[in-house]
Amino acid sequence: MNLAYRDIRHNLLRFVLTNFGLSLLLGIVIMITGVYGGLIDDALRQARAAGADLWVVEAGTNGPFAESSRIPGDTREIVSRVYGIERAGSVTYQSVQTEINGRPLRMYLVGFEPGRPGGPRRLVAGREILRSHYELIADRSTGLALGQDVALGTRGHTFTVVGLMQNEVTSSGDPVGYITLRDAQQLQFELAPPASRREKARGSQSEGNDQINAVIAKVSPSVPADEAAAALSRWKHLTALTQDQQETLLSKYVIERARKQQGLIMVLLVIVSAVIIALIIYTLTMDKVRSIATLKFVGAPDRTIVGMIVQQALSMGVFGYFTGLALVLVFRPYFPRRLVLDVESVSVVFLITIVVCLLASTLGIRLALKVDPAEALASSG
């Protein structure tokens, strides 16, 4: 005879309502876990999208994501000639903001050389960039459609969307777009007409636009990446970072504060959940004091009483967890940022929930064990 189950069945509505509230709380814990996972995944995805073995950036910088890096456009030629480098491509990175149908659209634009490393990883619709100017591949989260025109830059050049990607966003959640390197350099350095006229009036020499933020290099499988990086670093104006170093920079430093903040929120939510679960179990136990006293009087061992409370606590945790998970999965598409819920993190949250329930039930267990069997008599008048 399972007393915990019988009690739950007897108070089913109260159990369901209490657990629904708990599931909302656990849903938020799961959601924050997803946001946390998304933050890290987005950051790494940004670096992994390039498919690089080495990142060649300005000397003494941790560019191009952690710090700004600016190197001459012909650096790619130098990098390509180094022993062990198979392929190389120049890239630029910049944030832009424009308006689409009266709504602001922020985008993180990557300038790349078509046919060389640094381009979009996988398209879910449309095609690669084939023309040298004014074609754009954008992430779906921009809301842009294939064939749609977008005005970018100070001179309002019109770009046509030719390809769409999925889940390509930066660590801050901005969708990523790809254009040709030439277009990107033009957007980055070209002055607005009035500013350009003023510069000319001042007699200033127009500066060359052939600057890039990094060179992405693919290393031959027969050559260790570290060796190639060391060879590249012999140039005083360049620094070469391996892909692992770049990922460490992104996950440990670029998103460190956001990561810590979300981690802290998650810990706080777990603590709040523990307190709430403990209070619920304590209240449920309080309601059963007379029944517990009667059971003890009849001769129920402590393990029967403890078992009843622990089983109810675990039922609450399991019910709340899975309902919370279901709610998060249902509403996931409506979150402004990507939620990444991998099996590992979801399992960890489940284990934490179980541990929290067990710990929280100790308060109820303490109360139950303190109940004097004689209360069965006292309560009877």
Partner 1 sequence: MDAPGKQPVVRVEHLSKTFGQGTARVDALIDIDMEVYPGQVVGLMGPSGSGKTTLLHCIACILEPSSGRVTLDGDIVYDQRWLKADLRRLRLDKIGFIFQYPNLLPFLDGSDNVAVAMHLAGMRAGPARARAIELLNYLEVGHRKHALPRQLSGGEAQRVAIARALANKPRIILADEPTAPLDSARARIVMDLLRRIAVEQSAAIIVVTHDEMILDRFDHIFHLRDGRLESDVPAPAAALASPA
* Chain positions contacting partner 1, by CB under 8 A: 1, 3, 6-7, 9-11, 290-291, 294-301, 304, 372-374, 376-377, 379-381
Dihedrals φ, ψ of 191, to 5°? -85, 155
We find the least distance from the C-beta atom of residue 368 to partner 1, in angstroms, to be: 14
310 contact partners, CB below 8 Å, separation of at least 6 = 358, 361, 365
85 contact partners, CB below 8 Å, separation of at least 6 = 54, 79, 217, 218, 219, 220, 228
Cα–Cα distances (Å) from 356 to 38, 114, 267, 347, in that order, read 25, 53, 12, 14
In the block, tokens 């209360």 appear at 375
Six-digit token string for 377:
């008599």
Cα–Cα distances (Å) from 337 to 255, 263, 268, in that order, read 15, 16, 21
- Tell me whether residue 156 or residue 381 sits nearer to partner 1 (CB atom): 381
We find the least distance from the C-beta atom of residue 294 to partner 1, in angstroms, to be: 5
We find the least distance from the C-beta atom of residue 7 to partner 1, in angstroms, to be: 4
Q: How many Å apart are CA 123 and CA 375, to the nearest integer?
A: 71
CB neighbours (10 Å) of residue 323?
18
187 closest CA partner among 122, 136, 130, 116? 136
We find the least distance from the C-beta atom of residue 121 to partner 1, in angstroms, to be: 58
| H helix runs in the chain, sequence order | 3-10, 12-48, 75-80, 181-189, 193-201, 225-232, 243-248, 256-287, 289-298, 302-331, 343-370, 375-378
- Tell me whether residue 51 or residue 373 sits nearer to partner 1 (CB atom): 373
